[in-house]
Each structure stands twice: as C-alpha cells, then as structure tokens.
C-alpha cells in the first residue's frame, strides 16, 4: 500500500488559499499556474502576473496547449484486459474528488483514506492546475517538481484507480493517460494496470461503474468561455460519453443482461444534477436505455462542495446523487438556489461549516468518502479533512435493481433540509 511521504523541512505544501479563486475553466487554470510560478519568485509581486504583458505571455502558453489535439481516447483491447475487476462481497473502497492540489489538506485526506485500510481507492478526477506531467508527478505521485512537498495518491490494499477530470483535459489529457494511468490499477499484475479512463468493480450484488465525462468537457478554445456562444453544440463542453466507452458498457459490463443485474454505483467527474450550479444532462440521456429500470447511487465531484440528495427522478435516470468534490480544492460555501429547491430538487444535507485553519476564512472543509460493502448492503461514511464522521448512511440492494436508503448518523452541525419527521440520530 503506497504511503504518503513524510514532509521535508525544506519543502512546503501548496497553500489551499492559493487555489481559492481558481475557476473551472482552461483559461483561468493556465493563468493561475503562471501566477504561482511568479509567486515563488520573490523578485516579482504576485499581482504582476495580471499585467497585460504577462497575460499575453500566458495566453501564448494556453494556445500552445489548446491548439494541440487531445490525447486519443484509450479503450480496452478486444481480448485480454477488459477493465472489469473483482470486488469481494465484503470489501472497502475509499473515494475522493477534485483532490489533486498538493496541499496539506490533500495530504490529510490521503492519510484519512489510508486509515480506512481500503481494498481500492478511486479518484473522481481533477489534478490542478492543468493536470500536466509535472503536476501529476507532484500532486499525485509524490515527486517534487516545483519545490513543493509532493503528495501521493493513496493506494488501496489491492489497487487504485482514477477518473479523468476537466483539468487534466486542459493539458489535453496526455499526462493523465501517459503518466498517471500507468501508476494505477492492480499492481500485482502488469496486465491489470489501469488502461482506460473508465472501469468497473463488481461482486455478486454490487457494481461500481466509473465513466469518463471529462474527455468531452473542454470546448473550442476561447469560444467556450463566451456565455451564450458556449451553449452551441460542440462549441462549449457537453461531457458526452464516448461511443467506444458506451460499447464497452453494453458488451462487456452488460448491465441489461438478466444474469448480470447488479445494484449500481455510478461514478463520474461531472454532476448529473445540482441545487447549486448548472449540471450536465447528456450523459444521463446516453445511459437511459441501460439503467432506466433501476435506481442508481451516482457519486460525482467537479463542484467543490459536499452535498447529499434524495432520489431524483425528473430526469432520464432515477438517482441518489452524492457530490464529493471537496477532496482538495477550496470548498465553496454557498446556499442552494431557491428556485431549484422550489422545483423539487431533493437536497438533503450540505456542509456550511467554515474552515478556519487559514486566513482565508470563507472556505469549507475538505473531505472524502469511505464505502464498506457487506453482501447486499453498502455503508457510506462521509468524512471531513480531520477524519471526523459527518454522515453515515446505508443502501441496501433490492433484487430488481432498486435501492433502499437510510441515514444512520449525522453530525448536527451539517445543514439538514429534510423534513423534521425524517428524524436522523445525531452525533458523530
Ligand atoms: Fe472539474
């Protein structure tokens, strides 16, 4: 099991506050990377990075990335490794999203995940700022590239996996596919290293299906930044699922095959729905035929927050949404949109607690999610950056693909929007 490296006294972790205002766009991410480079150079003030001359310099770098073709979409060979891995009936899996910042908080989240002693770990994607080779090396592989103390993505007892995020695609996905993936998978066998940005873990009752929504999450350079224009198909990001991935899902995983029916946990980087932000509906439309007759437990990141929803049914799929994009980025503290709640968005829990470790006071707490599978049940233990339990819930798989959900324990400090009659035991 890979262990995070101990901090070196000569090195420092990336500061979480430095990432506070990073927006989820290619333009802004490249800019912030240049800002950080300047911040390490005491001969120049941080603000200088925003002067027009530096902006043009940075823009050239951005266009250099943007004008390259993105990395080919990797898939599995016709024979041999197919990306479906065995999960024991009793098994532990630890998840984090938007974790790749290299901050001390990211290191704390990694340590918390390892303390769970998981069989597998899964990153839901996003390595900052642009997920290129040096950032993957420093923020995921524990190497020192920019003078910061590197942080290692924690590996489970049997293996580790990672989805692709939009930030990795800002550098065309090359480092994700060529540097990060070869370090993932099941290391006991070279044939079982992670070869693609989608995969499946399954036992007789449960199936974790991880799908890549990030490969098509970056639109046409510059135009994708323009409101209105970026809503034109194929100009802005739509997160559509690649045809080869859908073919793998239909022919290898075969969720519609009566002999292969399982309760399904779907993992994606992008949100299916949200009470806080815009969402991406196209993947659900593409998956409608495969999962229309069952409930999904759908876990995503991308939004830098933690949120728990009841069953959402207005869309193409019936899903219990869980947003865990609080793994490493500064966590957003924002109220849900009243119009979304008024229209029936089933937000149940979110976290408005303020993280006071740094001088930047209006940040929330980072965290991660532990899954404990035991036969037909899976227990979800939502943890914060200090490894404290926030919420414990349990899902039970029905024989026909349905899910029964119950809350077991909740920290009373969480914001609870459920009807009072629901009554959840409190105290973590
Ligand atoms: Fe993202």
Q: Is 43 exposed, middle or buried (0-12, 13-18, 19+ CB in 10 A)?
A: exposed
Q: Which of 139, 143, 147, 141 is nearest to 167 (CA)?
A: 139
Tell me how far apart the alpha carbons of residues 393 and 374 are, in angstroms, rounded to a whole number. 13
Q: Which of 280, 374, 380 is nearest to 322 (CA)?
A: 380
Q: And the tokens for 105? A: 């908080």
Q: By the 8 A CB rule, do 153 and 185 touch?
A: no
- Whole-number Å distance, alpha carbon 98 to ligand 1 midpoint, is 7
CA distances from 242 to 19, 72, 193, 212, 250 (A): 31, 11, 21, 8, 13
- Whole-number Å distance, alpha carbon 270 to ligand 1 midpoint, is 7
- Whole-number Å distance, alpha carbon 301 to ligand 1 midpoint, is 7
- Whole-number Å distance, alpha carbon 424 to ligand 1 midpoint, is 32
Instruction: Give the pLDDT confidence score for residue 206 in this predicted structure.
Output: 97
Q: By the 8 A CB rule, do 159 and 166 touch?
A: no
Q: Within its chain, how far is the Cα of 7 from the centroid?
A: 25
In this structure, the number of other CB atoms found within 10 A of the CB of residue 228 comes to 7
User: How many CA atoms, within 13 angstroms, populate the side-chain half-sphere of residue 145?
Assistant: 15
Q: And the tokens for 332? A: 């957003």
Q: What is the DSSP string of 10-41?
A: T-BPBPGGGGTT--SSHHHHHHHHHHHHHHT-
- Whole-number Å distance, alpha carbon 30 to ligand 1 midpoint, is 14
- Whole-number Å distance, alpha carbon 162 to ligand 1 midpoint, is 13
Architecture of domain 84-422: 4-Layer Sandwich (3.60)
| Residue pointed to by tokens 């233990």 | 381
- Whole-number Å distance, alpha carbon 96 to ligand 1 midpoint, is 12
Q: Which of 183, 214, 175 is nearest to 198 (CA)?
A: 214
Tell me how far apart the alpha carbons of residues 45 and 49 are, in angstroms, rounded to a whole number. 8
Instruction: Give the pLDDT confidence score for residue 36 in this predicted structure.
Output: 55
| Residue pointed to by tokens 């899964």 | 122
Q: By the 8 A CB rule, do 268 and 217 touch?
A: no
Q: By the 8 A CB rule, do 103 and 385 touch?
A: no
CA distances from 127 to 106, 163, 170, 224, 237 (A): 11, 10, 10, 21, 18
Q: Is 315 exposed, middle or buried (0-12, 13-18, 19+ CB in 10 A)?
A: middle
- Whole-number Å distance, alpha carbon 229 to ligand 1 midpoint, is 21
Task: Give SS3 for 157.
Answer: coil
Query: pLDDT 10s per residue in the chain (428 long)?
Result: 444 444 444 556 666 766 665 656 665 565 555 555 544 443 222 323 323 344 554 455 466 677 788 999 999 998 888 999 999 999 999 999 999 998 888 999 999 999 999 999 999 999 988 899 988 999 999 998 777 788 999 999 999 999 999 989 989 999 999 999 999 999 877 678 999 999 999 999 999 999 999 999 988 776 776 777 777 777 778 899 999 999 999 999 999 999 999 999 999 999 999 999 999 999 999 999 999 999 999 999 999 999 999 999 998 999 999 999 999 988 888 999 999 999 999 999 999 999 876 555 678 999 999 999 999 999 999 999 999 999 999 999 997 778 999 999 999 999 999 976 555 555 43
- Whole-number Å distance, alpha carbon 324 to ligand 1 midpoint, is 11
| Residue pointed to by tokens 């540097």 | 179
The pTM assigned to this predicted structure is 0.88
CA distances from 316 to 177, 250, 294 (A): 31, 18, 11
- Whole-number Å distance, alpha carbon 269 to ligand 1 midpoint, is 7
Tell me how far apart the alpha carbons of residues 137 and 292 are, in angstroms, rounded to a whole number. 40
Task: Give SS3 for 115.
Answer: helix
Instruction: Give the pLDDT confidence score for residue 51 in this predicted structure.
Output: 31
- Whole-number Å distance, alpha carbon 213 to ligand 1 midpoint, is 10
- Whole-number Å distance, alpha carbon 342 to ligand 1 midpoint, is 27
Q: What is the DSSP string of 117-139?
A: --SEEEE-S-BSSS--HHHHHHH
């Amino acid at each position: 099991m890979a262990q995070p490296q101990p901090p070196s006294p000569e090195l420092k972790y990336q500061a979480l506050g430095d990432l506070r205002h990073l927006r989820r766009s290619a333009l802004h991410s490249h800019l912030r990377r240049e800002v950080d480079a300047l911040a390490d150079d005491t001969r120049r003030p941080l603000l200088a990075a925003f002067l027009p001359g530096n902006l043009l310099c940075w823009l050239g770098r951005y266009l250099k990335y943007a004008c390259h073709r993105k990395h080919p979409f990797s898939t599995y060979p016709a024979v041999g490794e197919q990306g479906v891995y065995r999960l024991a009936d009793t098994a532990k899996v630890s998840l984090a999203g938007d974790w790749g910042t290299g901050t001390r908080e990211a290191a704390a989240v990694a340590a918390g995940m390892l303390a769970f002693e998981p069989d597998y770990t899964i990153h839901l994607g996003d390595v900052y700022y642009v997920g290129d080779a040096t950032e993957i090396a420093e923020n995921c592989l524990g190497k020192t590239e920019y003078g910061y103390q590197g942080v290692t993505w924690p590996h489970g007892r049997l293996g580790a996996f990672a989805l692709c995020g939009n930030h990795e695609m800002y550098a065309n996905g090359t480092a994700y596919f060529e540097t990060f993936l070869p370090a993932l998978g099941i290391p006991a066998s070279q044939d079982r290293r992670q070869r693609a940005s989608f995969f499946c873990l399954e036992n007789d009752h449960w199936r974790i299906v991880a799908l890549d929504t990030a490969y098509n999450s970056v639109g046409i350079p510059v135009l994708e930044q323009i409101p209105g224009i970026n809503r034109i198909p194929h100009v802005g990001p739509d997160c559509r699922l690649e045809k080869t991935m859908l073919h793998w899902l239909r022919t290898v995983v075969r969720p519609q095959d009566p002999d292969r029916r399982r309760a399904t946990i779907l993992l994606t980087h992008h949100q299916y729905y949200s009470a806080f932000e815009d969402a991406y509906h196209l993947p659900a439309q593409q998956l409608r035929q495969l999962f229309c007759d069952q409930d999904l437990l759908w876990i995503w990141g991308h939004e830098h927050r933690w949120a728990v929803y009841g069953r959402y049914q207005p869309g193409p799929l019936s899903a219990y949404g869980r947003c865990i994009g609080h793994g490493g980025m500064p966590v957003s503290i924002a109220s849900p949109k009243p119009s979304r709640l008024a229209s029936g968005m089933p937000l149940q829990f979110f976290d408005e607690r303020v993280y006071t470790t740094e001088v930047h006071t209006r940040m929330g707490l980072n965290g991660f999610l532990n899954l404990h599978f035991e036969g037909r049940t899976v227990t979800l233990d939502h943890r914060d950056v200090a490894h404290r339990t926030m919420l414990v819930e349990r899902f039970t798989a029905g024989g026909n693909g349905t899910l029964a959900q119950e809350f077991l324990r909740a920290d009373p400090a969480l914001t609870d929007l459920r009807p009072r009659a629901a009554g959840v035991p409190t105290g973590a």
